[in-house]
Structure 1
Amino acid sequence: MTLLVSGDRVSDTLVIDRSLGEGAFAEVHRVRHEYLGWQAMKLFKRVASKEETVRMLDEARLLSTLGHPNIVRVFDANTVRTPEGVRGFFTMEYVAGGSLERLAAAHKSMVPRDLVAEVVTQIASGLAVAHDQDPPIVHRDVTMANVLVGYDGTGMRVRVSDFGLAKRADPFTHLASAQGTYAFMAPEVMRNQGYSCASDVWSVGVIAYLLLTNRFPFHQGGEEFSSFSFGRFNRSLLPPSSYNDEVDAELDRIVLAMLELDPQNRPATAQVLGDALRERAEAMAGAAGDSAGDSVGGPAASAGSAGLSGTAGSAGSAKSAVNRPPTQRARRLAEEALELARSPGELDRAADLMEEAVNLSPYLRDLHLSKLTLWRRGVMM
């Protein structure tokens, strides 16, 4: 049972719409702001004062003022009375597509290589802004749940959320909160040697490896999450291409570099990581152009293009995910979006519904992504 439910009034301008999920130390709701529309609200289960809530958000609020497209905007922080007493909350940008967990679950196995590369590049862009502050702002809890995947007029837009919350969260609650946090935690952090920008890079490496292979690095099949102990790092780490033949040698190199056990051997900051990913993308684009120039219109050109495409790659898992029929919920969301888009003034709501649908189903993403990006630009079809 959540602390607040649909219809509860948070303030004069905020009303709870529905629950979006909860973790060990907070629950998240979609709320309707009387003037600003949909927002997301994170309600802390154990934080009671407005002052403490604001302190927890110091870094998130600082980064929000920079207006970077890959960082979630934070709007307000306050307290609300719940059946369990006064609790702190903050409101932030609502991303209808949900977290990276939803996108990954929709593919059920491995996410297409180029989609993974784009996700990781955008995560790095957001973190780079934080790492570039003086002193650097370290996220400390980069996980699949803290990366949100939405769409704007240019296509997919990934946003990193929850900056600074991990270091101020209750230590017991924080470590109990996942299955998640331990699995994404750098070795030096587990040794209590502190966080650094390189620790964030490790967490991004775990995300990349998981998306590309459908398994955690250093994790053996059949083990439960409770087995995520320091001892697993005694195993050798196979490159992602050992499990996914769509992964190229350079992406292998970048992912393995992020997962170096010694932080001194990793990309030092997210900016360094982002630069490496962009250089790889440029090299692959150049190679694709050369291949097309050598075999204009021929079968070899067609095959070369397919091999470099994240949506038309050779890996059977990527193809099967796109061809898999959408779930009933995803199909219903898409149908509601298409119907709503025909009504004047409802294009934003239609886009939100379609954003949910395409992140739930690779098939619907392939079918409706171009339409969604047009809707985000305000263009009706």
Structure 2
Amino acid sequence: MTLLVSGDRVSDTLVIDRPLGEGAFAEVHRVRHEYLGWQAMKLFKRVASLEETRRMLDEARLLSTLGHPNIVRLFDANTVRTPEGLRGFFTMEYVAGGSLERLAAAHKSMVPRDLVAEVMTQIASGLAVAHDQDPPIVHRDVTLANVLIGYDGSGMRVRVSDFGLAKRADPFTHLASAQGTYAFMAPEVMRNQGYSCASDVWSVGVIAYLLLTNRFPFHQGGEEFSSFSFGRFNRSLLPPSSYNDEVDADLDRIVLATLELDPQNRPATAQFLADALRERAESLAGAAAGVPNSGTSGVSPATGEPPGPATRRPVRPPTERARRLAEEALALARSPGELDRAADLMEEAVNLSPYLRDRYLSKLTLWRRGVMM
């Protein structure tokens, strides 16, 4: 049972619409603002005093200082009375497509290489702004659930969300205390040696490896998710291309660099990771255009493709829910003034189904530009 339910009024302008998700410390609702439309509201569950409320709202204050297209935008922060007492909340932009968990689940096995590379690049770009602060802000909980996938007029836009564990690092050591989600936690964090920007980079590497191979790094098949232990780092880490022949040598190298056990050997901040990914993208683009390439990309100069078979995996038909969302979006788009709502519905649909993404992504992008065709 959530603290607030559909129809509850948060303020004079804000009303609860429906729940979006729930974690140990907070629940997230879609809310309607009387003037600004749909927003997402994060409501803290375990706050009993005004002092604790202010401490929990540190996330909101951190977010408000980081204006970047790959970081979820913050709108407001306040408190609201619930049946359990006063609770802190903040509102942020609503991303209809949902989290990277939804996108990964839609593909079932492995997410296409170029999509993973783009997701990595945009996550790194958002985190780079936090890491560039003085002292750096480290996220400490970069997971599939905390990366949102939406679409605007230029295409896919990834937003890093849930800076609930974010903390400014010590100005001298550039380390922060260790918290986060176990499966995405860097080895040094597990050793209680503190969290750094390189620890955030590790988490991005875990996401990339998981999306490319459908398995966690250093994790053997048949083990339960809950069996993650420090001992797994004694195993050799195979490159993603061992499981996925779409992965080129440069992407192998970049992902493996993020998963170096010694943080000194990883990209020191997300900016270094973003730069490496952009260099790879430029190398691939040059190879596709027939530009000679003496680098180490491992792609064919003639085709711009990685070596090995370039077979396209069969795309499963959409689920009933995804199909229904797409049909509702197409119908709604024909009604005057409903293009934004139609785009939100289609955004959900394309993140639920690779088939619908292939079919309707270009239409969704046009809708986000305000163009109806």
Q: TM-score when scaled to structure 2?
A: 0.89
Q: Could you tell me how far 1:34 is from its partner in structure 2?
A: 0.8
Counterparts of 1:107 and 1:311, CA distance in 2:
29
SS in 1 for 2:19: strand
Q: Could you tell me how far 1:231 is from its partner in structure 2?
A: 1.0
Maintained 8 Å contact 1:143/1:180: no
1:313 matched to 2:304: yes
Maintained 8 Å contact 1:337/1:353: yes
Q: Could you tell me how far 1:225 is from its partner in structure 2?
A: 1.8
Q: Could you tell me how far 1:5 is from its partner in structure 2?
A: 1.3
SS in 2 for 1:321: coil
Maintained 8 Å contact 1:131/1:270: yes
Unpaired runs of at least 5, structure 2: none
Unpaired runs of at least 5, structure 1: 289-299
User: Cα RMSD over matched residues?
Assistant: 4.9
Q: Could you tell me how far 1:85 is from its partner in structure 2?
A: 2.2
1:239 matched to 2:239: yes
SS in 1 for 2:292: helix
> Aligned in 2, Cα 1:189/1:92: closer, same or farther, shift over 3 Å?
same
Counterparts of 1:266 and 1:305, CA distance in 2:
19
Maintained 8 Å contact 2:249/2:298: no
SS in 2 for 1:81: strand
Give a deviation string over 1:262-310, Cα, whole Å, max 9, x none.
Answer: 000000000000000000110111111xxxxxxxxxxx99999999899
Maintained 8 Å contact 1:257/1:267: yes
> Aligned in 2, Cα 1:61/1:309: closer, same or farther, shift over 3 Å?
farther
Q: Could you tell me how far 1:66 is from its partner in structure 2?
A: 4.1
Counterparts of 1:147 and 1:309, CA distance in 2:
32
Q: Could you tell me how far 1:363 is from its partner in structure 2?
A: 0.4
Give a deviation string over 1:132-191, Cα, whole Å, max 9, x none.
Answer: 011111001100111000000000000001225356999999999999810000011111
Q: Could you tell me how far 1:33 is from its partner in structure 2?
A: 0.7
SS in 1 for 2:329: helix
Range 224-233 or range 128-137, more displaced: 224-233
Q: How many residues align?
A: 369
Maintained 8 Å contact 2:175/2:194: no
Counterparts of 1:34 and 1:346, CA distance in 2:
16
Give a deviation string over 1:182-204, Cα, whole Å, max 9, x none.
Answer: 00000111111001000000000
Give a deviation string over 1:207-250, Cα, whole Å, max 9, x none.
Answer: 00000000000111111122111111111111000100000111
Paired-residue identity, %: 90
Q: Could you tell me how far 1:122 is from its partner in structure 2?
A: 0.2
Counterparts of 1:311 and 1:371, CA distance in 2:
31
> Aligned in 2, Cα 1:338/1:4: closer, same or farther, shift over 3 Å?
same
The aligned counterpart of 2:347 is 355
Counterparts of 2:301 and 2:356, CA distance in 1:
16
> Aligned in 2, Cα 1:380/1:155: closer, same or farther, shift over 3 Å?
same
> Aligned in 2, Cα 1:171/1:147: closer, same or farther, shift over 3 Å?
farther
SS in 2 for 1:27: strand
Q: Whose helix fraction is larger, Structure 1's or Structure 2's?
A: 1
> Aligned in 2, Cα 1:242/1:60: closer, same or farther, shift over 3 Å?
farther
Give a deviation string over 1:54-101, Cα, whole Å, max 9, x none.
Answer: 433435534434421000011111222222222211111100000000
Alignment partner of 1:301 out of 276, 292, 295: 292
Maintained 8 Å contact 1:307/1:313: no
SS in 2 for 1:175: coil
Q: Could you tell me how far 1:51 is from its partner in structure 2?
A: 4.7
Maintained 8 Å contact 1:54/1:77: no
SS in 2 for 1:353: helix
Maintained 8 Å contact 1:153/1:376: yes
Range 145-154 or range 8-17, more displaced: 8-17
Q: Which has the higher contact order (CA 8 A, sep 6+)?
A: 1
Q: TM-score when scaled to structure 1?
A: 0.87
Counterparts of 1:172 and 1:325, CA distance in 2:
54
Q: Could you tell me how far 1:24 is from its partner in structure 2?
A: 1.3
Give a deviation string over 1:96-147, Cα, whole Å, max 9, x none.
Answer: 0000000000000000000000000000000000000111110011001110
